[in-house]
Amino acid sequence: MSSPSFQLADLAYTKLILHALKYPHQTVNGVLLGTPPESAGKTVDIVDAVPLQHHWSNLSPAMEVGLGMVAAHAQSRKLQIVGYYQAPERLGDTTLSPAGERVACKIKEFFETPIALVINGSKLDDENGGAFVSYVPLSPTSTAFRPVEHKLRFTKAIPRRSLHLVRHTNLLSQFGDFDDYLEDTSVQFLKNGAVEAALNSPQ
């Protein structure tokens, strides 16, 4: 089965940038929610992202709990977990870590050909959207991921728009991940509704 292409919605793009910028000196990760195509090799629409960790650990019990909560949340919205993302703590690092690869493999339980996105922290202010490096499985049965080109698309305006929101609103302070939720259960990490509200507000 060939690996599909992926379309990153504005909401998902913005959440990835917010997560990486909120914890710039720590490795952050999360998962991507979408609608798998009806046939192989077509485009997967990534409609949302759920931020999980900034206190990095491997596929820990906490991560397992977080993934379970996200899977239930996705199912309630008729979506699936279709990918994983990671922003390494080392600026300019675009390598999918062995621990990240294991989490990405775990996601194959939800979707056979997921994408793993590594966010290049040195390019977070790139208004052309050059911050992402895409990895896909070598095969549907493989536990290894390889970097590829031209697997990820997004709207042309969203890199500039997401950076504008970071610089000119308090959205960053409202944004929270699963680690934040473990410390304060009022944190709405599954939805982070303020992000969608900000994107829908007049520019």
Q: Which long-range contacts (CB under 8 A, 24 or more apart) does 179-186 make?
A: 179/52, 179/53, 179/54, 179/55, 180/54, 182/62
Q: What predicted TM-score, i.e. pTM, was given to this entire model?
A: 0.94
A 10 A CB-CB count for 3 gives 21
Q: How many domains does the chain have?
A: 1
Q: Does some domain include residue 83?
A: yes
pLDDT at 74 (0 to 100) = 96
Taking a C-beta distance cutoff of 8 angstroms, is the pair 147, 135 a contact?
Answer: yes
Residue 92 belongs to domain with CATH number: 3.40.140.10
pLDDT at 3 (0 to 100) = 75
Q: Does some domain include residue 131?
A: yes
pLDDT at 94 (0 to 100) = 93
pLDDT at 34 (0 to 100) = 96
Q: Does some domain include residue 82?
A: yes
Quote the mean pLDDT of the chain: 91
- Provide the percentage of residues in the chain whose pLDDT is more than 70: 95
Q: Does some domain include residue 202?
A: no
Return the exposure string of 118-150: e unless at least 16 CB atoms fall within 10 Å of the residue's CB, then b. bbbbebbeeeebebbbbbbbeeeeeeebeeeee
Q: Does some domain include residue 20?
A: yes
Q: Does some domain include residue 123?
A: yes
Instruction: Write the secondary structure of the chain as one string of H (helix), E (strand) and C (coil).
Output: CCCCEEEECHHHHHHHHHHHHHCCCCCEEEEEEEECCCCCCCEEEEEEEEEEECCCCCCCHHHHHHHHHHHHHHHHCCCEEEEEEEECCCCCCCCCCHHHHHHHHHHCCCCCCCEEEEECHHHCCCCCCCCEEEEEECCCCCCCEEEECCCEEECCCHHHHHHHHHHHCCHHHHCCCHHHHHHCCCCCCCCCHHHHHHHHCCC
pLDDT single digits (tens) 136-180:
998 878 889 999 987 899 999 999 999 999 999 999 999 999 999
The average pLDDT across 78-90 equals: 94
Residue 99, pLDDT > 60, answer yes
pLDDT band per the 50, 70, 90 thresholds, residue 203: low
Residue 129, pLDDT > 90, answer no
pLDDT single digits (tens) 13-65:
999 999 999 999 899 999 999 998 776 668 999 999 999 999 876 667 888 89
Q: Does some domain include residue 162?
A: yes
Residue 1, pLDDT > 90, answer no
Q: Does some domain include residue 149?
A: yes
* Structural domain range at position 189: 5-195
